[in-house]
Structure 1
Amino acid sequence: MAPRMAPLLALSLLALWTSPAPALGGANDAEDCCLSVTQRPIPGNVVRAFRYLLIKDGCRVPAVVFTTMRGHQLCAPPDQPWVDRIIRRLKKISAKSKLYSS
């Protein structure tokens, strides 16, 4: 029975490691927080949305959470140039879509 549980346990740990975790005792306990951030740049063309998770919001690790086209959430450091480039690109796309929908 133990050998059957090992792959399930490994998959569960991987899911916990890569996904945002609930905040611990912050201003908004329902808010998700990142346990760590990736230093490896994320390809901007796979990102469709972003949001900030900051210390002032009750998170221990400040992060930008990017949501990919497939719905995955990736935590990135807010102070990296590649993160700024992706955010600027997303804001530009959003501004264009609002302009054309008016």
Structure 2
Amino acid sequence: MTPRSIIMITIPLFIIVGILSPAPAAGYRMSKTCCTRYSKKPIPSENIKGYREQVTLEHCRINAIIFYTTNNHEICTSPNDDWVKEALSSLSSKLKMMSQNTDGKKM
């Protein structure tokens, strides 16, 4: 094989591999940002679609609960605020109800 024929085979091979390789999901971020302060304003529970916990054992300076809202915002909150504890309890109850509703049902 000549060098030119090797190139003619190799380039399409790389293109095919690139097309078939899985790509990261849309919105995926390599690193998470840290909360540096808390929002004091409570979020209505109907506007919360999820959350994650930030702990000081990681690379961030403060412990926080980061709520994801229906408007695709991330709101940093204090895990010690009563309204945050209530929101987490409500989310936990909803998740428990959802898991009980799917028990025994085939998908």
Superposition map of 1:43-58 within 5 A? 43-58=44-59
1:58 is matched by which residue type in structure 2? H
The 4+ residue runs of structure 1 with deviation greater than 4 A are none
Note the residue ranges of structure 1 that are not aligned, 5 or more in a row. Answer: 1-28
Seq. identity, %: 23
Q: Please state which structure has a larger fraction of its residues in strand.
A: 1
SS in 2 for 1:55: coil
SS in 2 for 1:90: helix
Superposition map of 1:43-82 within 5 A? 43-82=44-83
Q: What is the distance in 1 between the residues matched to 2:32 and 2:71?
A: 21
Q: What is the distance in 1 between the residues matched to 2:49 and 2:35?
A: 19
TM-score scaled by length of structure 1: 0.66
Q: What is the distance in 1 between the residues matched to 2:70 and 2:96?
A: 19
Q: Residue 60 of structure 1: CA displacement?
A: 0.8
Q: What is the distance in 1 between the residues matched to 2:46 and 2:99?
A: 20
SS in 1 for 2:67: strand
TM-score scaled by length of structure 2: 0.63
Note the residue ranges of structure 2 that are not aligned, 5 or more in a row. Answer: 1-29
Q: What is the distance in 2 between the residues matched to 1:76 and 1:94?
A: 21
Q: What is the distance in 2 between the residues matched to 1:95 and 1:73?
A: 24
Q: Residue 65 of structure 1: CA displacement?
A: 0.3
